Structure 1
Amino acid sequence: MASSAHPSSSSSDPTIHVLTLNCWGLKYISTHRHARLVEIGNRIASASPQPSLVCLQECWTQQDYQAIRAATSHILPHGKFYFSGIFGGGLAILSAWPIVESSMYRYPLNGLPAAFYRGDWFVGKGVACARIEMPADIFGQGKSRILEVFNTHLHAPYKPEPLDTYVCHRTAQAWEIAKLMRHAVERGHFVLGCGDFNMRPASLAHQLIETHSGVKDVWRVLHPDSSLGSANDQVERERGRKVPNAGFNVTENGATCDSVLNTWRWNKGQQKRLDKGEDITVALDTEDPGAKRLDYIFFGGGGERDDERAWSVEAANVGMMERHPELKCSLSDHFSVEATFRLSTRPADTPMASSTPYGAVLPPATYTTIADMIAKYTSREAKQRRIRVSHFFAQFAISIGCLVGVWWTPNYASFILMLVSTLGLSAGVIDGLMGFLFVNSEIRALKEFNWEIDAAKQRAVLVEAGKGAQEETLEVGKTGAGGHTQGAVGEPEAMREDNGKMEMVV
């Protein structure tokens, strides 16, 4: 029987080592899929420090999942493969400690069935949720012993924002996982949100998560000045920084995708040389204008006033950059994100640096931007619904006309009319189902999202108005009789003199 305590942990060193990786394990599509995922399992098993928790995305097949489990079971004896959608969500969680409860939450807004060539809707993207109870002899008996993990893969961007058609869906998905994580934080548990979020730092989705979930982006905690996208993105060009090299991107910017170090981003000529067995190396000082950070670890919660403990991030790095030993290719088209967390004591009156105060809001203008995006996308989908429904009725009428025409046409013409009727009506029925059922469902989900954003905006307006009123009160309460200042409730506040200037002692 596997021990409940993690091999690398001790009562004097209560740490958790976390790894998240998009494996690029698309069946029939991803090159060298099984060989790469087997090697990913081997690298996880030999990693130092040993991981306590691993979150995988795009691990689509049971064969690949079981291969990784077989390689890592001695350090990660507990695991869960999550089932979702028509083809599966590709999410899996491996843990050093028992997963006592799990669920799969599917996003209400999750791509379009018409975009079958992209597949986001068909895989049923969502959040793989797991509740883990860590050993009491290491992490104590309190709420900080409970770890809630949320593993996800948000809708892929197919164009840069704001041109991306699916930015509304991805932002809505970020809102949903933010709510799940906030609820866990409110329960006082330690919370980890991992995965391929397909978003840029400081994007609307990123802002919603950090503001409304009570968690923080690990990389931004340790590297607050890291990039907000690739050097090619407008937001980075506006910062006026020189194009970073590959080494800087992985050590400072946390770039996990589109790096020149990743062989799956090379041109066809380089990949052909690699396929012939040539081991091509890329220097770390090579300019890397396209690399960006799409994979994240968020953390929060776990603070307990009764025993004055809190979780803090100790280290974070980009990993899984090694090549396959025989194939010489990268293990995935993404690199991993890895982080170490420590449970430590703190003064009882010290706030947790990792938490966001409950009720925190973004500026009202940000919610207005999101609401405008929802309105624009809803209008687009309403138009799509009219087109699809109209196509159904038009095709139905054409089919009836073709069947009537069969009575007065020769055999070969009858065959053509029947073929046109059958194929056309089939397409019309599919379009009608999407128009009547899917688009209606999508618009209703958009209405729910819009209501919640509107409620958040109203709260933000009240918060901003409250701040304005407080500042106005302080401005009005300037020095009066006796050299005192009147505070917000008319009470004199203590004053001090510093270099001839009077300041309120807050």
Structure 2
Amino acid sequence: MCPTPPASPPPTLRIISLNCWGLKFLAKYRHERLTEIGNQIAHAQPSPDIVGLQECWTQQDYNAIRDRTRHILPHGKFYFSGIFGGGLAILSRWPIQESNMVRYPLNGRPAAFFRGDWYVGKGVACARIRIGPERKDIVEVFCTHLHAPYEREPNDSYLCHRTAQAWEIARLMRHAAERGHLVLGLGDFNMLPLSLAHKLIEAHAPVKDVWRILHPESSLGSADYELEKARGRPIPTVKTNLEDNGATCDSALNTWRWNEGEKKRLERGDQIHIDLTSPDPNAKRLDYIFLGSESSKWTVQSANVGLTMRHPTLGCSLSDHFSVEATLMRNPTPAPDIESAIINGHFRGRLATDNDTKLMQLPSSTYATILDLISEYNLRERRQRRLRLTHFGMQLLVSIGCMTAIWWSPYNYVSFVLMLLSSLGLSAGVIDGLMGGLFVGSEVRALKEFEWEIQNAKGEAERVTTSEEIER
């Protein structure tokens, strides 16, 4: 039985996105922290309407959050993906009408088991939520966690993966916007403002980063980031990073970023106070809310960094990230009061205008950069495939040699050593052969699809540029 749709759309929407850092066995005080996250969301003011969670890996933690927020967010979905789960969840004040999990075609490598990105099956958690009686009174929510950077751009060996993932979620958000629905992209995107992935999302989906709508001059990264240093600004304080730059990660306020000495003091029960005016050079913004709104129906009223408090008994931060939060206000049609307030300077929000959310083409040179990135990564993976298949062939020969040598072995212990070497070596060779023959082959084919789409976008950008030059 389908739930009855709301009688009218809400006047405001309160959105929260948080990376919970809920790694099973690895994240300290995991269940205690995520339980407290549920408590804080339940008592947040204003109350949230839609919440996107990342790194909520276990159903135990998800259920703990659901139990504490059910009175304000009665509907929710925990998303299953990969071997260990995608770590994504969406909570909602209204029923989730449709839901699916879209896996990223490019998502890490199985050989990097110590990083785990491939094994969790990262992707996009999609939910369609009806917030009103009309056909287009629908919010489409896309919650994601892009591949982690393990080196700084442009030296990050997973930059190609993260760029392809940004392209994929941009495609999903674009299709939702074409259906005339309100679009929300939430998550830990593991990218800096105005980075390649950030530009790609805003260019190929009619969405805007809500923080930059309100704070267009906010920082582009940590104080030592090259592009940020080039702006010649002083090192920001903790307060500046929270209020102006929207820094959700690596803040001096976050106890999980402290040195070991400070962490031990905290565990002993020492009260460590961080002055909001102290320098905060490492903080940066990795968590985002993207908004796409048809015909400027929604206003970005406010955006803030949240969940900065500490656990009431453990004294640690609730996660290694802070949340990013936003309040959207629905504009009546017509909206003379809002227009008058804007004209008279009384309105402090910012409209998500058509100019904010229209599709645009990036310069042809940007697509050429992506194509070079794909080409470089493609060569790397083909080289990896040759090496892995060669390893498999050599181990097969070694195994045959060991088995043959057993015939002439003078002692039992020598035979045992030869059999052990043969078994272990062949096992490693088979695993490498499977990675080279199956996984890398699949990855190369996914790269070909991504390359075709970028070439197509590059051709369109060149056509538009040529047309504009002819018109001039």
Q: What secondary structure sits across from 1:298 in the alignment? A: strand
Q: Match of 2:256?
A: 264
Q: What does residue range 10-89 of structure 1 map to in structure 2 within 5 Å?
A: 14-89=11-86
- Asked whether the equivalents of residues 9 and 132 of structure 2 are also in contact (C-alpha less than 8 Å), the reply is no
Q: Match of 2:345?
A: none
Q: Match of 1:310?
A: 297
Judging changes above 3 Å, is the alpha-carbon distance between structure 1 residues 184 and 84 closer, same or farther for their aligned structure 2 residues?
Answer: same
- Asked whether the equivalents of residues 301 and 355 of structure 1 are also in contact (C-alpha less than 8 Å), the reply is no
- Asked whether the equivalents of residues 210 and 291 of structure 2 are also in contact (C-alpha less than 8 Å), the reply is yes
Q: What secondary structure sits across from 1:84 in the alignment? A: coil
Q: Does 1:300 align with 2:287?
A: no
Q: Match of 1:403?
A: 403
Q: Match of 1:249?
A: 241
Q: Match of 2:388?
A: 388
- State how far apart, in whole Å, the 2-side matches of 1:279 and 1:129 are: 41
State which of 155, 175, 181 in structure 1 corresponds to 2:173: 181
Judging changes above 3 Å, is the alpha-carbon distance between structure 1 residues 234 and 56 closer, same or farther for their aligned structure 2 residues?
Answer: same
Q: What does residue range 53-452 of structure 1 map to in structure 2 within 5 Å?
A: 53-136=50-133, 141-143=134-136, 145-303=137-295, 310-345=297-332, 353=353, 360-409=360-409, 410-452=411-453
- Asked whether the equivalents of residues 215 and 355 of structure 1 are also in contact (C-alpha less than 8 Å), the reply is no
Q: Match of 1:481?
A: none
- Asked whether the equivalents of residues 300 and 355 of structure 1 are also in contact (C-alpha less than 8 Å), the reply is no
Partner amino acid for 1:401?
G
Q: Match of 2:342?
A: none
- Asked whether the equivalents of residues 170 and 205 of structure 2 are also in contact (C-alpha less than 8 Å), the reply is yes
- State the shift of 1:116 in Å: 0.2
Q: What secondary structure sits across from 1:89 in the alignment? A: coil
- State the shift of 1:4 in Å: 7.5
- State the shift of 1:239 in Å: 1.1
- State how far apart, in whole Å, the 2-side matches of 1:281 and 1:156 are: 30
Q: Give the CA RMSD over aligned residues.
A: 1.8
- Asked whether the equivalents of residues 221 and 285 of structure 2 are also in contact (C-alpha less than 8 Å), the reply is yes
- State the shift of 1:302 in Å: 3.2
Partner amino acid for 2:320?
D
Partner amino acid for 1:33?
R
Judging changes above 3 Å, is the alpha-carbon distance between structure 1 residues 359 and 316 closer, same or farther for their aligned structure 2 residues?
Answer: closer
Partner amino acid for 1:312?
T
- State the shift of 1:467 in Å: 1.2
Q: What secondary structure sits across from 1:148 in the alignment? A: strand
- State the shift of 1:240 in Å: 1.1
- State the shift of 1:301 in Å: 2.6
Cα deviation, 1:307-334, whole Å, max 9, x if unaligned, reads xx61121100000000000000000000
Q: Which has the larger radius of gyration?
A: 1
Instruction: Using structure 2 for the length normalisation, give the TM-score.
Output: 0.94
- State how far apart, in whole Å, the 2-side matches of 1:169 and 1:4 are: 41
- State how far apart, in whole Å, the 2-side matches of 1:118 and 1:461 are: 39
Q: Match of 1:503?
A: none
- Asked whether the equivalents of residues 4 and 97 of structure 1 are also in contact (C-alpha less than 8 Å), the reply is no
Q: What secondary structure sits across from 1:383 in the alignment? A: helix
- Asked whether the equivalents of residues 87 and 123 of structure 1 are also in contact (C-alpha less than 8 Å), the reply is yes
Instruction: Show structure 1 runs of 4+ deviating over 6 A.
Output: 3-6, 10-13
- State how far apart, in whole Å, the 1-side matches of 2:394 and 2:355 are: 56
- State how far apart, in whole Å, the 2-side matches of 1:269 and 1:147 are: 46
Cα deviation, 1:373-412, whole Å, max 9, x if unaligned, reads 0000000010000000000000000000000000111211
Partner amino acid for 2:322?
F
- State the shift of 1:413 in Å: 1.2
- State how far apart, in whole Å, the 1-side matches of 2:354 and 2:146 are: 23
| Unaligned 5+ runs, structure 2 | 340-350
Cα deviation, 1:418-455, whole Å, max 9, x if unaligned, reads 11100000000000000000000000000100100000
Partner amino acid for 1:362?
L
